[in-house]
Structure 1
Amino acid sequence: MKAATIYDVAREAGVSHQTVTRYLQGFEGMRPATRERVAAALRTLDYRPNSAARLLRSQHTNRIGVLADRIDESGPSRILRGASQLAHERGYVLDIVVADGTSPAAVEASLAVLTEHQVAGILATAQTQIVYEELRRHSFSGPMVLGSQFGVSDEGPSLSELAGRLAADHLLDLGHRHIGYVAGSQMWLASAGRLEGFRRRVEERGGQLAWVREGDWSAASAYRVWEELSSAERRITAVGAANDSMAMGLISAAHASGLSVPNDLSVMGNDDIPEAAYYLPALSTLAMDFEAEGRVVLDALIREIEGRNQTAKPSLASPRIVARKSTARLR
């Protein structure tokens, strides 16, 4: 079968071939509806840019190294999915190396694997302080992009902090004032940001954060947290969790201890994983556009690789409250 050209994509999307070219070059000033039509046409026709000639002219490889961690979790895997989609559209290949972001030795070893092969740049989606410190120490002649450089406004909080604030707002708006929180590992910047946003918002609005416990992002860790709470610590009316898996573990543990969710205890998650809508009770959570984050960070790296300036500061959609059955108004 003959490979699709940009002219085929233009016909499929109902736009000019110049519009398709601008999309492939990462042009920011394009209407969202037009951008979506072009993206859909690229997927439908399985368009593959003829990057060979361009890369030979520029003496660049088309391989990008990706340092990743916790790809079994929804957020990191969806970030990689978005980055992979954009790489395909732009004619690049991702070499993904998974590293334990909590181990300096593991990060160093994974960086060595990436840099011993010819890569045009490195994208780090493993967002721990250890990863950042190792990247700063590592000598690599090409561009590097760190995932959490994005999603932060000049005047507002990071998206992680905003997610924490919105989760707290949802529970506070329902009348809850005595609240607990199960955080993810504080080595992860997203977890630290969500906890800080949640804590500040509860305090700002006159609530009481009765306790904070740290899990490891798994349902089992949150189940254990609830089991280990004293009877006095369980006298809360709502609890927030840094991700949906831990929220589900909390619901299960609360039921096992004789409580009804949400009649006795409201539970709020974060990430809106596909299973959240079908859990019993359906989980209230925060929807995060991780795929868009993957596209944004990879686009910034490709611009550096190709020597193109960022025409506008990248922006990501704010988290969105998805209210379901696991939270209810305080009786």
Structure 2
Amino acid sequence: MSIHPASRRAPVMKDVARMAGVSYQTVSRVLNQHPNVSAGARERVEAAIAELGYRPNPAARSLVTRRSQTIGVLASELAQYGPARTLLGLEQAARDVGYFVSIATLRTVTPQAVRDAVDHFGDQGVDGLVVVVPHPGLLEELDRVAPAFPVVAATSDPERLLAGAGVDQRLGARLAVQHLIGLGHTSIGHLAGPFDWYDAAERVAGWRDALAGAGLAADLLVEGDWTAARGYEVGRELAASRAVTAVLVGNDQMALGLLRGVQEAGLRVPEDISVVGFDDQPEAAYFFPPLTTVRQDFEELGRRCIGALLAALDADAQQAPGVVEPRLVVRSTTGRPVAS
């Protein structure tokens, strides 16, 4: 006999097991993302959950698993697009596997602030912690604090990827520069993010790698601050100097300002200068001209981080590779250089 959502009582795991024709333990394994479940059984359980409208009871689950079903997220620089979207991806990925997220943000990364945050998460009894790490100081402080729960990092620092996940920023920069080289550009500058950010440093390295691989000089490297205002300022300078025919910009916001700066000064995009951004913000397709940029999959980054944390909590859990590959989205701001 089928049990439907219209029943008076809320469905429980035994109802799901009965409808799916599996054991209670199999339902538990599916809910906890355990790999040792056949595809057919998993599909039947998920179908029964959907039909019944079953929702796991966090309190009951915590008694069985001795876990709080809560993950801490420690972040900073959330005013910037990348960290903010990473946080959203983490929260969605955690909810998809039945976890709640507790968030703490740091205005400044100091030893005391990091210790206070770790103590806060310890008092909440979180099962583990994901750190959204823009620059080195935060992880270094966490190493000194040595939390009593597993910690994984959302970072592009190559040395930390084994204990977390990150977008391959170096590959993203190489894809952008190789695209420009393929169009015939030989003088390609880079307006980078702040040099003390992991992502910015990796993009600089990718820019250098691609130029070196083509036998080209890395002559124009400018430090930015992620803002459109800085992009505008550098755009005006590039228009005056005509030092390059193409530029890789460290994020879409700076690219927006740079586009205005060069076009106000009379340059045509892409005929006089080609521009590539980084992130593929939703607005990038509506810049003038629409922006060629490097897309980061922040939702997948969130899933990889949560998978890494679950693997740290459960030795039987399967963990996807920690590196998320970006891809180049070609629009209208790149083209072949026009001889002056």
TM-score, with normalisation over the residues of structure 2?
Answer: 0.80
Which residue does 1:226 correspond to in 2? 235
1:25 to 28, 33, 49: 33
Q: Distance in 1 between matches of 2:80 and 2:71?
A: 22
Work out whether 1:289 is the aligned partner of 2:311. no
Which residue does 2:106 correspond to in 1? 99
1:163 CA drift (Å): 0.7
Q: Distance in 2 between matches of 1:159 and 1:148?
A: 9
Go from structure 1 to structure 2 and tell me whether the alpha carbon gap of 1:235 and 1:298 turns closer, same or farther (over 3 Å shift).
same
Which residue does 1:247 correspond to in 2? 255
Q: Distance in 1 between matches of 2:33 and 2:73?
A: 21
Go from structure 1 to structure 2 and tell me whether the alpha carbon gap of 1:138 and 1:30 turns closer, same or farther (over 3 Å shift).
farther
**1:32-54 Cα deviation digits (max 9, x unpaired):** xxx99x99998999864333222
2:174 to 165, 169, 174: 165
Q: Distance in 1 between matches of 2:259 and 2:90?
A: 33
Which residue does 2:286 correspond to in 1? 278
Work out whether 1:303 is the aligned partner of 2:311. yes
1:119 to 107, 121, 126: 126
TM-score, with normalisation over the residues of structure 1?
Answer: 0.82
Work out whether 1:235 is the aligned partner of 2:243. yes
Q: How many residues align?
A: 321
Q: Distance in 2 between matches of 1:100 and 1:42?
A: 41
Work out whether 1:190 is the aligned partner of 2:204. no
Bigger drift between 208-217 and 134-143 goes to: 208-217
Aligned to 1:167, what secondary structure does the other structure show?
A: helix
1:106 CA drift (Å): 4.2
Which residue does 1:178 correspond to in 2? 187
* Aligned residues of 2:176 and 2:276 also touching (Cα < 8 A): yes
Q: Distance in 2 between matches of 1:72 and 1:104?
A: 22
Bigger drift between 219-228 and 241-250 goes to: 219-228
* Aligned residues of 2:301 and 2:324 also touching (Cα < 8 A): no
* Aligned residues of 1:129 and 1:188 also touching (Cα < 8 A): yes
* Aligned residues of 1:26 and 1:299 also touching (Cα < 8 A): no
Which residue does 2:225 correspond to in 1? 216
* Aligned residues of 1:222 and 1:249 also touching (Cα < 8 A): yes
Percentage of pairs with the same residue: 36
* Letter matched to residue 176 of structure 2: A
Q: Distance in 1 between matches of 2:157 and 2:66?
A: 29
* Aligned residues of 2:307 and 2:320 also touching (Cα < 8 A): no
Gaps of 5+ in 2: none
Which residue does 1:322 correspond to in 2? 329
Work out whether 1:207 is the aligned partner of 2:216. yes
Greater CA radius of gyration, 1 or 2?
A: 2
1:295 CA drift (Å): 1.2
Go from structure 1 to structure 2 and tell me whether the alpha carbon gap of 1:176 and 1:41 turns closer, same or farther (over 3 Å shift).
farther
1:271 CA drift (Å): 1.1
1:95 CA drift (Å): 0.8
Q: Distance in 2 between matches of 1:73 and 1:244?
A: 11
Q: Distance in 2 between matches of 1:41 and 1:258?
A: 63
2:58 to 46, 51, 61: 51
Go from structure 1 to structure 2 and tell me whether the alpha carbon gap of 1:321 and 1:114 turns closer, same or farther (over 3 Å shift).
same
Gaps of 5+ in 1: none
* Aligned residues of 1:174 and 1:328 also touching (Cα < 8 A): yes
